Amino acid sequence: MVWPGYYRLAYNTGLCHCDPLTMPILDIHVLLQSWLDHGWLRDPQAVGLNTFEAQELVAHGFDAISDGGQLCLYEDERMFRRGKRPVQASFKAYLQRGQLGANGLDLGYQVHLAGFLRAARQPLPAFRVLLEQGGRSGALLFDSGLVLQFAANLRGKPRHYYLTLVEGHVADAELADRDSDIDLRAASVGHVQALYDSRDPADLQRLARRGNAALRELAQLLS
């Protein structure tokens, strides 16, 4: 019963623009399953919207950032929950020529990757594991183009990975290459492939045996 009051406080203090009387308070794992199922979030009502059109996003207080070309990022805070714990995330919608091309969530350090993977519907869609040198961060890159970016806890030795960024490409949408130097899509497939090295299952298990606790936890889950 703590949620209505918490959500009203977030709304009144400007932490998010979504109306607590109409915005569904979804479990974050349920919401993330939608990205796994379809490769992107198809239901705008899951984030308190009727559509993903530019007019709708602006009307709901989304900030708009253009890359100087035809791609525009719309971003706003949304509140979710994990059990009784609040999860504040930034929902992102990428529109090109007014059409939705991709959407995602910036989660920060709030959702354990292992907890989400355990709760996710099995088997997972086909994916590859990409890792930073040293294993403090990486990404799961799915065949659909969905990217789940993760990073270990900031303080102390890496113990767990947090799911920090989710970004899915809309099926059949074309996000053309742009001349702009501004890269709005922080978790685009090209971006994560440039950041991280791809690891096959055997390589992942080998690295985990001599790696940190977060890497061992991930390798065990994926084995």
Three-state helix/strand/coil letters over the chain: CCHHHHHHHHHHCCCCCCCCCCCCCCEHHHHHHHHHHHCCCCCHHHHCCCCCCHHHHHHCCCEEEECCCCEEEEEEEEEEEECCEEEEEEEEEEEECCEEEEEEEECCCCCEHHHHHHHCCCCCCCEEEEECCCCCEEEEEECCCCEEEEEECCCCCCCCEEEEEEEEECCCCCCCCCCCCCCCCCCCHHHHHHHCEEECHHHHHHHHHHCCHHHHHHHHHHC
In this structure, are residues 65 and 198 in contact, taking their beta carbons and an 8 Å threshold? no
Give the whole-number percent of the chain exceeding pLDDT 70: 83
pLDDT, greater one: 109 or 191: 109
Predicted local distance difference test score (pLDDT) of residue 171: 79
Burial per residue of 112-150, b for 16 or more beta-carbon CB atoms within 10 angstroms, e otherwise = bbbebbeeeeeeeeebebbbeeebbbbbbbbebbbbbbb
Q: What is the mean pLDDT of residues 29-35?
A: 96
pLDDT digits (tens, 9 = 90+) for 115-162: 999 999 999 999 999 999 889 999 999 999 999 999 999 988 999 999
pLDDT in tens, 163-216: 999 999 997 766 554 444 445 676 677 778 888 999 998 899 999 998 999 999
Percentage of the chain with pLDDT > 90?
67
More confident residue, 23 or 47: 47
CA 180-35-175 angle, to 5 degrees, is: 25
Per-residue pLDDT at 97 exceeds 60: yes
Tell me the whole-structure pTM to 2 decimals: 0.85
